[in-house]
Amino acid sequence: MSEKKHPDNKERVGVYVCHCGTNISKVVDVEEVARWAGEQPNVEVSRDYKFMCSSLGQELIEQDIKEKGLTRVVCASCSPHMHEKTFRTACERGGLNPFLFEMTNIREHDSWITDDKEAATIKAKSLVRGSIDRVVHHEPLDQIPVEINPNTLVVGGGIAGITSALELADAGYHVYLVEREPSIGGHMAQLDKTFPTLDCSACILTPKMVDVGQHDNITLLTWSEVEQVDGFLGNFTITVRKKARYVNEEHCTGCGICIEKCPFNVVDDIFEAGMGTRKVIYRPFPQAVPKYPVIDKENCVYFQKGKCKACEIFCPTEPNSIDFEQEDEILQIEVGNIILATGYDLFDVKRIPQYGYGKLENVFTSLEFERMVNAAGPTDGKIVLRDQETKPKSVAIVHCVGSRDENYHKYCSKVCCMYSLKFAHLVHERIPDAEIYDCYIDMRTPGKGYEEFYNRLLEEGTHFIRGKVAEITDAARIPEEEGKLIVQVEDTLIGRQRRVPVDMVILSPAMEAREGSKEVSQLFKMGCDFDGFFIERHPKLDPVATMTDGILIAGACQGPKDVPESVSQGAAAAARVAGLISRGTVMMEPVRASIDQDACSGCRICNNMCPYNAIIFHEEENVSEVITALCQGCGTCVAACPSSVITGAHFTNDQLLSQIEGILWDMRPEKVTA
Amino acid sequence: MSEKYEPVIVGFLCNWCSYRAADLAGTARIQYAPNLRAIRVMCSGRVDPQFVLKALRDGADGVMIAGCHPGECHYVNGNIKTMRRFMLLQKMLTQLGIEEERVQLVWASASEGIVLAEKIDQMTEALRTLGPLNWKKRVLNSGNGYQAAEAIPVLEEA
Amino acid sequence: MKKYAYFPGCSLEKMAISYHDSALETTRALGVELEELEDWNCCGATTYFHLDEILANTLVARNLAMAEKQGLDLVAPCSACYKNAYFTNAYIQEDEDLAEHINYALEADDLQLSGDLSVHHLIEIFVNDVGVEEVKNKVTRPLEGIKIVPYYGCQIVRPRKDGENIEDPQFFEELLTAMGAEAVDFANKTRCCGGSLLISNRRAALDMIRILLQNAENSGADVIATACPLCQVNLECYQAQVNDEFGTNYAMPVMYFTQILGLALGIPRKKLRIGSELVSAIPVLSKYLKKEVS
């Protein structure tokens, strides 16, 4: 394959070195690199230019291809992740196969990491020479068309997932919405008011939930979890476990008599955040979608002791909707794209023992407080201490519990300042004479109407204390502190330690990645960062795509965010999917492996290298074959083949070995000894 | 060459994690040794051990293979295969008398620009201490493992 | 029998001799051998480190090097000694320059420190090596009905070890419970006793002591247990001054945990020097001491 090119038959390479304004040229001697490149083998023309990615820069390439008959192009500029596509398109416009192009990264990997001009220039030359030597071995390739299955899977039925599902369904595409709880709604359904408008959360969410439940284009799978993901962009096969509800959805009318008659109550740790109880057969909340209840098997007396069946006895439907024999169902779904909107968990405040949660009974978490102030919540909206009756006369709200903290999460959880302000407002509203102390590190209110809301609270008379709370204790030092919770905080604005005695403390914990988000990211074969949040393709310009084609992310699974942001991301992800579906087919990188079957010895070493089972073995011919549609192009089999008969397109042995040689142009032993 | 010795390291960076980590290090303007010359591969599993030998034979003082953390491979488990190959390769290189520091396998996720930069700095420093590799003198002329060294592909003559 | 190099520190020679005696008695009873470090020197206390860190570290390193020479891990009953020894040992392993510096100085004494030894506070020996279960098995005089404050003080938990809950540790409570006593929930368990602040700001220090005594009293405790000679001195010897200054009338016995442990193990009180306190613990302990001829 690597026959030596005849001198007359050599490739004509064009080399373009970008200044990137001064981003590259202030460290790398760009003119010198371009001049030197012109002297390298196979190079026909070499230029430097201020901005290669500009339309004028691209035209340079196009012109040279046409006028100078270039057969290969190298562009030394930024990372290929930035502009490879731009330049490939320019080559294509000039009439050259886009894969006859190679990009050299002399910005991110060179000019930005050092100020040693000499070293940076030598490095740039080496990288360029590597690309020149590599590109000569490039071969024209065609992108692989992939058909997009128009169905979409949305994982997570919080506000982000609901938005994605509705946007796609309204556009006429079918959506499978999978939610692991018995109802959709997510965290937003637990909230009382939303900041800064103080809209009733349930009032604005419920209509959307009902839409989802009734939409012809949405298959709603609650109490279900994704177990397996196979395939790739356009053609995923998803295995979903639909957990047994023990209620037949076909017969159940959602009348709720079974719930009423169920004789057993248990603490509701999920929806009511441990503040209230629910029946053993239950709907998480009255507006739940779908309306069908679910039996909590662990706590059901019938399941545990074989007696009761009250729900079955009182069920008025014919045939009876209660089905104790129901089993988990395993469903297979075919989809073209996946949107992950799996949301967040709240930081476990018990990890900060000095805040006393769990030990000091009148320390509450934000979610507990949300349930408390919710008119439909366990206290009917009354703000009371843990004894369920005493109104607090003083309340402290503690920001940044687990956020902006070296010991827990370094990041800012973004929403806590605003909902803490909302809490302060709600306490003012319901207990007008209460003193409210809001302990913050910095007040962060970037958002439409957010700063105005903060100003409103300043006027409402909240006492703002700028400082990180050190501890919350019941250990009184002076008689006035007896029987109170004392918030010890350094007030950095007056430069003093303060001890604030209060009746109630509300902790505003960090938003953190869902427990098990790492496993979820592995299930879907995409990335998650150190904190467990899913990684977007580009933090600025591609926030809802991931590195894996066909898998998008929306909402707090990508990082802490509030309702409007989650909604925007949900809609953005849906728009991206809708675009792909309406195109019908997308073109995929032709980076795929193939086996020269004439030369294959049938050793089968490659067979179990492939993580996608894309290599099959033909017993009769005693040869292996790569199924192109399944191959993802990693090249592991290529490196493993002992007879070098597997070719990894665009990453061939010749290409990589030449690049190694080129990159070490100044290091060849013969030159050193010379 | 009388000036300070600067080693040259060839880096094989996987497209999804470590190449992006290097991109991120640049974007964040993290300053580190410019001694690593990177080659992008789709997966560290693509790194054929002969690429490493080729780089050393062609004058590199060291080779760094960088991939996603185990368990985080974009291709499920390509990096695990890299690890296996690397261990064998390391053994062979030791037998040729090549110090362990010269060929390193590191993990850096796409968000770990600073981690990769630190690894490159550390490796550069280690190689500065070791000095040039001198493949020719050390391997070809030693008689030790000569045949193995001969097997490395030389493109022009292939 | 597990053997340690024992670094008593200056307090245990005189002022805290009851700690010294009870430490030796209880370890012996539980099968731990403490071999006193020969020719040991000052641990640097709390002040030296702020004057000259390298010299202070070197001072500590000499003790460590001698333990290393004996091939034993070091145990210190005093929290300040423990903290200093622990940190110097850790710094040596992390900081090559410092290690080189210190070893150069140690050469004068024919000593070498690699930092391979481990450093323990005395209470850790009972909790980790002997084990709470074993202590429980050896108790012959269960201290039922007595409420004790597990006062850790600030320094024991300061070398932050992996997985240890430094804000709300529980091991002292477990040890007291193993003796049959009731450990009260003491919110200020790791709060500073005032340390050497009494020298520079008497009123502030007395207030810190007052806070601890007040909380101990509020918790209904009969006695405060401590694992540090300085905590003991501050909490006990200054009670009269606190009472004068703030018009209070605290009378709270403050004992070393080893004294209480010794009592539970059935060791005669005189061997533990119980009764030598300024605020006598005899009244609250009388029911356990009945059988002993006092």
ipTM of predicted assembly, 2 dp: 0.93
What is the model's pTM? 0.81
Cβ-defined contact of B34 to A548 (cutoff 8 Å): no
- Whether C294 shows a pLDDT value over 60: the answer reads no
Nearest Cα of chain A lies from the Cα of B81 at a distance, in angstroms, of 8
Percent of chain B past pLDDT 70, that is, above it, reads 86
- The verdict on A661 touching B (C-beta cutoff 8 Å) is yes
A266 and A272 Cβ atoms separated by less than 8 Å:
no
Residue ranges in A482-551 assigned as alpha helix (H): 517-523
Question: For chains A and B, what is the number of CB pairs under 8 angstroms?
Answer: 162
- The separation between CA A520 and the C-alpha centre of its own chain, rounded to angstroms, equals 10
The secondary structure element, H or E, covering residue B25 is: helix B18-27
CA atoms within 13 Å, Cβ hemisphere of A335: 30
Chain C neighbours (≥3 Cβ pairs under 8 A) are A
Q: What is the pLDDT of residue B147?
A: 56
Residue C89: band (very low, low, confident or very high) from pLDDT cuts 50, 70, 90: very high
pLDDT: which is higher, C2 or A211: A211
Q: Where are the strands (E) in C68-180, listed by range?
A: 74-76, 119-121, 147-151
| Identity at A366, one-letter amino acid code | S
Tell me how far apart the alpha carbons of residues B114 and B110 are, in angstroms, rounded to a whole number.
10
* Average pLDDT of the segment spanning A147-166: 97
Direct distance between the N- and C-terminal alpha carbons of chain B, in angstroms, rounded to an integer = 33
Cβ-defined contact of A660 to B33 (cutoff 8 Å): no
Nearest-Cα residue of chain B relative to residue A633: B42
Q: What is the pLDDT of residue B157?
A: 38
- Whether C163 shows a pLDDT value over 90: the answer reads no
Tell me how far apart the alpha carbons of residues A49 and C7 are, in angstroms, rounded to a whole number.
73
Cβ-defined contact of C215 to A359 (cutoff 8 Å): no
pLDDT tens readout for residues A333-373 = 999 999 999 999 999 999 999 999 999 999 999 999 999 99
Cβ-defined contact of C167 to A354 (cutoff 8 Å): yes
- The separation between CA A338 and the C-alpha centre of its own chain, rounded to angstroms, equals 12
Cβ-defined contact of B46 to A651 (cutoff 8 Å): yes
Residue ranges in A606-668 assigned as alpha helix (H): 636-640, 653-663
Average pLDDT over chain A, rounded to an integer: 93
Which of A354, A471, A476 is facing C218, going by the closest CB pair?
A476
* Average pLDDT of the segment spanning A5-15: 71
* Average pLDDT of the segment spanning C169-173: 94
Q: What is the pLDDT of residue B80?
A: 93
- Whether A5 shows a pLDDT value over 70: the answer reads no
Percent of chain A past pLDDT 70, that is, above it, reads 98
Residue A674: band (very low, low, confident or very high) from pLDDT cuts 50, 70, 90: very low
Q: What is the pLDDT of residue A4?
A: 37
Nearest-Cα residue of chain A relative to residue B140: A669
- Whether C279 shows a pLDDT value over 50: the answer reads yes
Nearest-Cα residue of chain C relative to residue A486: C187
Cβ-defined contact of B37 to A123 (cutoff 8 Å): yes
Q: What is the pLDDT of residue C46?
A: 77
Beta-ladder partners of A500: A487
Percent of chain A past pLDDT 90, that is, above it, reads 88
pLDDT tens readout for residues B65-74 = 999 998 778 8
In C145-174, the residues whose Cβ lies within 8 Å of chain A are 165, 167-168
Lowest-confidence region among A506-510, B93-97, C19-23: B93-97
Identify the burial level of A452 via C-beta atoms within 10 angstroms of its C-beta, where 0-12 means exposed, 13-18 middle and 19 or more buried: exposed
pLDDT tens readout for residues A17-55 = 999 999 999 999 999 999 999 999 999 999 999 999 999
Cβ-defined contact of A475 to C168 (cutoff 8 Å): no
Lowest-confidence region among A2-16, A264-278, A434-448, C228-242: A2-16
Chain A positions touching C168 (Cβ under 8 A) are 353-354
- Whether A611 shows a pLDDT value over 90: the answer reads no
- Whether C50 shows a pLDDT value over 50: the answer reads yes
Q: What is the pLDDT of residue C287?
A: 86
C183-186: long-range contacts at Cβ-Cβ below 8 A with a sequence spacing of 24 or more?
C183/C148, C183/C149, C183/C150, C184/C147, C184/C148, C184/C149, C184/C150, C184/C216, C184/C219, C184/C220, C184/C221, C185/A359, C185/C219, C186/A475, C186/C149, C186/C150, C186/C151, C186/C215, C186/C216, C186/C219, C186/C221
Average pLDDT over chain C, rounded to an integer: 92
- The separation between CA B107 and the C-alpha centre of its own chain, rounded to angstroms, equals 12
- Whether B148 shows a pLDDT value over 90: the answer reads no
Cβ-defined contact of C218 to A475 (cutoff 8 Å): yes
Beta-ladder partners of A545: A552
Tell me how far apart the alpha carbons of residues A365 and A507 are, in angstroms, rounded to a whole number.
5
- Whether C115 shows a pLDDT value over 90: the answer reads no
